[in-house]
Chain A
Amino acid sequence: MSTQYTELQLDALRELANIGSGTASTALSAMLGRSVDISVPKAQALPFAEAVEAAGPAEQDITAIVLGIIGEMQGTVLLLVPPADADAMCRMLGVEPDDEFALSALGEIGNIVGTSYINALAGMTGMDIEPTPPSTTTDMLGALVASVLAGAAATGDVALMLDSNLLVEGEDCSISFLLVPDQGGVDVLLSRLGLS
């Protein structure tokens, strides 16, 4: 499968993701009062069907917090958390998972993490971008990821995903972090990096 991006471009995007998720992990750490580790991020350009498969088993239940990116680059930030881990994070914030505020607590985690990532991205590239308010839902992983990718599918055949993993130390609790720029968004990103 042709990926249409060069190794150099993917390396640069990976480095962006690295700095973005580093900033996001610091924010999450401050919020939860725990150390947060980050994995080495991946930058993958995959055909849509494979991109969905790469995210994990399609029918697996997952809690997703989604934020849109608007401004000079359009795209979506998707935070994927196993439901048990979402419950654990609620408790770290002092909210019981079945409490009426649990969803907004998770939304707030998504907001802090997503916004710090997006701000880091804006700072590095000089792009004028900002996040939209978060939306939280628990459903089939495949349905959530495919619905996000559909927004980018209109003009291209390949989805670019920047994927990092945040791990809350001592709690065995992880957030998978996906940044999916719309097709035009990737071009803007690469041109800002001088790699278009």
Chain B
Amino acid sequence: MGASETMVRMGELAVSSVPGHVLVSLGLGSCIGLALLDRKMGVAGLAHIVLPQSQGHGGENSRKFADFAVPELVSELEGIGARKIRLEAVLVGGASMFAVASSSLEVGQRNEASVRELLKAMRIPVKATATGGNKGRTIRVDVSTAAVTVREAGGKDTELLAGSRVLEAVAA
């Protein structure tokens, strides 16, 4: 595994077009790992979103909010050659880790709803999800094949979105 893995931590995002590169968010609970992929270009990005809405709290670390992170991830992807019209989305996380009645409980669900809403407005299709429930998850995004895997606590990596060989032209 992981010749070159980039950890995308809470409130961070990363994009890459480097073949063999893997973007990873470990231990997503109520947070959402949003992967966006342009398969044709071999370009992918991952955002580790913490909260659904900034509600006026922008500031230095605004990427923890869905309403900042989603457009920013798209624009950074466009910056390295992706086309918005080709982007595919995969969502992982948004769980309720604790069975207590507190506001932090619904954060997971609200995160997912907010990210879906933002993607819909940008006409980016959601191709696969592993969301909700009460289990922590890890997401891995393989930049060159556009394969996305998820692992739950105590489980194995399972493929959420099948990878495809890009750059077929190279073989020709």
A interface with B by C-beta (< 8 Å)? 47-49, 52-53, 58-59, 61, 64, 66, 68, 76, 132-133, 135, 137-144, 146-151, 153-155, 157
Contacts and interface: CB of A to CB of B under 8 A. Distances in A.
A142 B104 contact: no
Given A139-B153, A157-B59, A132 B10 contact: no
B99 A137 contact: yes
A151 B154 CA distance: 25
Contact of B27 (A135, A141, A154): A141
A58 B26 contact: yes
Nearest to A67: B100
B104 A148 contact: yes
A143 B105 CA distance: 13
Interface of B: 9-12, 26-31, 50-51, 55, 57, 59-61, 64, 95, 97-104, 107-108, 134-138, 151, 153-154
Contact of B136 (A47, A68, A135, A142): A142
A49 B11 CA distance: 7
A170 B100 CA distance: 33
A144 B64 CA distance: 17
Contact of A143 (B9, B59, B64, B136): B136
B31 A133 contact: no
Contacts of A148: 104
Most A CB atoms within 10 A — which of B108, B137, B153?
B153
Given A64-B98, A138-B153, 15 more contacts: A52-B27, A59-B27, A59-B151, A66-B98, A66-B100, A76-B104, A140-B26, A140-B29, A144-B97, A146-B28, A147-B31, A147-B108, A154-B51, A157-B59, A157-B61
